[in-house]
Amino acid sequence: VQLQASGGGLVQPGGSLRLSCAASGSIWSINVMGWHRQAPGKQRELVATISSGGTTNYADSVKGRFTVSRDNAKNTVYLQMNSLNVEDMAVYYCNADIRTIWSGGFKAYWGQGTQVTVSS
């Protein structure tokens, strides 16, 4: 199983970016998908999660600005980020709880990270 994240880049303060993360491999089912981020010198923190049924959860710092969504048919999770500021600058990691066709339970998988830089 692999998670491939994309969509990071450089954006001006107040701008928007959309991150995508596609899961591939011998997938039986996916439970929760989400995004975390890690800024230099800081611990990795939760940004947003979304359940297989569409229930979402957000960090207080991104509520009202970020929107997490998913396409179950494509095994893909998205993160629409609006009104970006310098505090949002970090490496963003996607993750998903996945049950493979070989396993009897769910396991957490992580993507490789994509850099989001907010600068004028």
- pLDDT tens-digit profile of 16-53? 999 999 999 999 999 999 999 999 999 999 999 999 99
What pLDDT band is residue 118 in, cutting at 50, 70 and 90?
very high
Q: Using CB atoms within 10 A of its CB, is residue 20 exposed (0-12), middle (13-18) or buried (19+)?
A: middle
Q: Tell me, what amino acid is at 109?
A: Y
pLDDT-derived band at 104, boundaries 50, 70, 90: confident
| The pLDDT of residue 69 | 98
Instruction: Kindly report each contact of residues 101-108 with a partner whose C-beta sits within 8 Å and lies 24 or more positions away, as own/partner.
Output: 101/26, 101/27, 101/28, 102/26, 103/28, 106/31
